[in-house]
Amino acid sequence: MIDPQVFYDELARQGITFYAGVPDSLLSSLCACIADSSIPEYHVTAANEGNAVALTAGYHLATGNVGAVYLQNSGIGNAVNPLVSLTDPEVYRIPMLLIIGWRGEPGVHDEPQHIKQGAITTSLLDVMGIPWKILDAQSCPQEVIAQAVNTISKTHAPAAILVRAKTFSSYKPHLLDSQYTLVREQVLEHILEASDPQDVFISTTGKTSRELYEIRVRRGEESRDFLTVGSMGHSSSIALGAALHAPNRRIICLDGDGAMLMHMGSLGVIGHMKPANFIHVVLHNGVHESVGGQPIGATDIDIKSAALGCGYQSYLLAEDEAGLAAGWSQVLTLQGPVMLEVRVRIGSRDDLGRPASSPEENKKSFMRYLGTAKST
C-alpha cells in the first residue's frame, strides 16, 4: 500500500501544493494527510466538487501554478459543468490534477449507489477528454504522479489519477473534538418516538440513513422512510418535492450540515415555496463523518441566519436532551418550512450496519406507505 505522506510529498516535489475537494472514503487517509500537512490557504474543503474545480481554477489564475482536486467519483457529476465549460482546452484551458476515488469499480463489491457510477467513470473521463491513470496499492506513486504531471504540462488542461480501493495505508488524522453531548442515533430515536405515525421521513446520505434504518428494525417497524443513500446534498429537495405534492402529510427531512452545505441553494427554493408541512432537521457535527471525519468546508456557518434569510418561517436550536425535547415539541406546532438545528457529537456505533433492502425496495416501501405505489 502507498503511504499518504509519500504521495503528498511527491506531489509537492512536482510543484502541486494547493488542494481543494470533498472528502471520500477511499481517499480518507490521503485527505487527512493533506489537511494535516497543508497551510490553511493551500487547502480548502469545498462545498461540492464543482466548487473545488472552480477554486483550483482561481488558484491557477492567481499564481500560474497547478493545483489538485480530490473527490469521490460520484462527485464527477457536480464537477462536469466547470470541467467542460471552464477548464476544458476548448474554453479556458486551465490545468489541474484530479485525484478521484473509484467507488463501484467493476468487479469490486460495493454499495448499490456506487455500481453505475463506478462502471461509467472511465467513460465519463474519456468523453470529457480528460486523460487518466490508475493508482493502486502496487503502483509506484512517483511514476504515476510524474506521468500525470507530464500530461498536464503538455496539454495545459486537467488530467486525472483514478484511485482504486485499498490503495493508501492508514493515516491517523488530527480529528476535531466533539463539543456536544447529544448522540445522533439517540436524536433520531427521540424524533421518531415523538412524531405522529403518519409523518414521513426522508433522510440524508451516510450514517444518518443507516441509523434510521436500524432504529426501525429495532422498533419492529416496516421500512417506510426514504433513505437517500446516494445524491449527497439532495435530500432536502426530494423532501420539498414530496411536501408540495403530499400536503396532508408532514414531511421531515433528516439532513446533515455537510450535505446541506453541498447544495445550499435548495434552502432558498424551500423558503420561497413555503410548504407548511415541511420540517428540516439539520444534524450539525461539523464533519464529513461517513467518509473519515474531515471538517466540512464551513464549520462556523450560521445556519440560523441562512434558514431565516432564505425564507424559513421558524428556526430552533437544540444542544442537549432538554433542548431537543422542548424544541421538537415546539416544531410540531409550527407552520413550515421550519428548521431545527441539532448539534451532535462526532461518532457512531462500531457495529453500525447497512440497509438489508435494496434502494428500489426502499422506494417501493416508501411509496406504499404514502399510498402512491402503482401496480406494474
* Residue 127 belongs to some domain of the structure: yes
Q: Is a pLDDT exceeding 60 seen at residue 375?
A: no
Question: Count of CB atoms within 10 A of residue 9's CB?
Answer: 15
- pLDDT at position 209: 92
The domain that holds 126 is classified in CATH as 3.40.50.970
- Per-residue pLDDT tens for 21-52? 998 989 999 999 999 999 989 999 999 999 99
* Residue 49 belongs to some domain of the structure: yes
128 and 68 share a domain? yes
Single out the residue in 132, 163, 194 at which a domain terminates: 163
201 and 57 share a domain? no
Residue with the larger pLDDT of the pair 178 and 16: 16
For residues 242 and 244, give the distance between their C-alpha atoms in angstroms, rounded to a whole number: 6
* Residue 63 belongs to some domain of the structure: yes
- Average pLDDT on 10-27 reads 95
> Looking at 11-15, 129-133, 286-290, 323-327, which range is the least confident one?
286-290
Q: Domain span at residue 72?
A: 4-163
- pLDDT at position 75: 94
**Structure confidence at residue 12 as a pLDDT band (50, 70, 90):** very high
For residues 21 and 348, give the distance between their C-alpha atoms in angstroms, rounded to a whole number: 24
* Residue 147 belongs to some domain of the structure: yes
239 and 105 share a domain? no
* Residue 375 belongs to some domain of the structure: no
- pLDDT at position 322: 95
- pLDDT at position 294: 77
27 and 98 share a domain? yes
- Per-residue pLDDT tens for 167-206? 999 997 666 666 788 999 999 999 999 999 899 999 998 8
**Structure confidence at residue 222 as a pLDDT band (50, 70, 90):** confident
Pairing of strands 338-343, 278-284: parallel
334 and 196 share a domain? yes
Residue with the larger pLDDT of the pair 171 and 296: 171
149 and 195 share a domain? no
214 and 115 share a domain? no
Q: Is a pLDDT exceeding 70 seen at residue 335?
A: yes
Distances (CA, A) of 268 to 88, 233, 264, 312: 31, 14, 8, 9
> Looking at 88-97, 247-256, 356-365, which range is the least confident one?
356-365
232 and 153 share a domain? no
Q: Is a pLDDT exceeding 80 seen at residue 88?
A: yes
The pLDDT mean for the chain works out to: 93
* Residue 204 belongs to some domain of the structure: yes
For residues 197 and 222, give the distance between their C-alpha atoms in angstroms, rounded to a whole number: 12
DSSP string, 23-41: --STTHHHHHHHHHHS-GG
Domain count, the chain: 2
> Looking at 214-228, 286-300, 312-326, which range is the least confident one?
286-300
189 and 158 share a domain? no
> Looking at 38-52, 155-169, 216-230, 334-348, which range is the least confident one?
216-230
* Residue 175 belongs to some domain of the structure: no
308 and 222 share a domain? yes
- pLDDT at position 14: 97
* Residue 176 belongs to some domain of the structure: no
**Structure confidence at residue 231 as a pLDDT band (50, 70, 90):** confident
For residues 251 and 243, give the distance between their C-alpha atoms in angstroms, rounded to a whole number: 6
User: Among 315, 332, 25, which Cα is nearest to 170's?
Assistant: 25
Q: Is a pLDDT exceeding 80 seen at residue 356?
A: yes
Residue with the larger pLDDT of the pair 333 and 177: 333
Single out the residue in 163, 196, 217 at which a domain terminates: 163
Single out the residue in 163, 195, 212 at which a domain terminates: 163
332 and 222 share a domain? yes
pTM score: 0.89
232 and 352 share a domain? yes
